[in-house]
Amino acid sequence: MKSAAESLPLLQGVLDCIDMGALVLDANERVVLWNRWMSQHAGVCDAETRQRNFFDLFPEQRGKRLEAAIGQALRSNLPSLLSQTLNRWPLPLYSNKATAEKGERMQQQITVTPLHLADDERYCLIQVNDVSAAVQRENLLREQAVALRSQTLLDDLTGVANRRHFDMAIDRETRRARRMGTSLSLMMLDIDYFKAYNDHYGHQQGDACLEAVASALSTMQQRPGDLFARYGGEEFAVILPDTPGDAAVMMANAMCRKVRDLRIPHQAARMDEHIVTISIGVACSDSGQADEAYELINAADRALYQAKACGRNRVHSI
């Protein structure tokens, strides 16, 4: 049976062939083996590390999770896997010269394993995997998932919240208003004579009109809980949590003025001014008396109908 010392050249040759960092420490935490991968990515060759204490080479690891893992392996024969999430780049290892110059360490996953040899001497093997590519893929997938989720909640044309987003929000805010005893206001609005606008200017210009109106009105909701959404066609909705009816009416009148100020020509409008305008219906659930979502929507829709019946380009509240 070969002794550990006699086996070192063979072990060194094996470790130099593997595509990961590998080093072996003795019971005194001194480096016994240091493979070619470590030399390449740490910028320290095997000869410079031999018989040096690991923590002289990496002093910043004193008191860190890696020191505890090495201690467990050498004294208690317990293996450890350092979570990459909690220990992203513990060792100063770099993918190439360019990243080294920028100080960008590779993402690492480190495993510390006790070694059982015939001479009963204690050793531990430290394996370092470069998981940078895997982390990049994970981040990309996460970003794509967030983007996909946001796309499912946004209207393709206008970029504001879509009907699905509105349905989720009105249900959530109605339940919250009922639970907290707060007011909840809802506006339903649409562009006046929009069918006539489409017939006169064409659908492409009609889409541009929808985008312009949505862009102007969506900036008027400043609080995180407010939601401006496209309800369907030329109809939009605004959810205003913790907002009494009179405050909602004030905002609705400001929104009407905002659209008029755009001065979008509308020659087919049966109005004194041939510009694009909107009509708005406002409904509010008083504090502690929040209706069901569908009741609040129906009330705002009735108010919108009244605003249009009274001549359009105005606000009506219930």
d(CA 129, CA 21): 6
Give the tokens for residue 144: 């794509």
Active site residues: 234
R_g of the chain computed on alpha carbons:
34
User: Tell me, what's the pLDDT at 200?
Assistant: 94
> 197, 266 in Cβ contact below 8 A?
yes
d(CA 184, CA 170): 10
d(CA 85, CA 256): 51
- Amino acid present at 131: V
User: Tell me, what's the pLDDT at 84?
Assistant: 80
The pLDDT profile of the chain, 318 residues, written as one tens digit per residue, is: 455 556 667 777 888 889 999 999 999 999 999 999 999 999 998 889 989 999 999 999 999 999 999 999 999 999 999 988 788 889 999 999 999 999 999 999 999 999 877 667 889 999 999 999 888 898 888 888 777 766 688 998 999 999 999 999 999 999 999 888 899 999 999 999 999 999 999 999 999 999 999 999 999 987 889 999 999 999 999 999 999 999 999 999 999 999 999 999 999 988 878 999 999 999 998 755 556 888 999 999 999 999 999 999 999 998
d(CA 231, CA 163): 5
> 282, 179 in Cβ contact below 8 A?
no
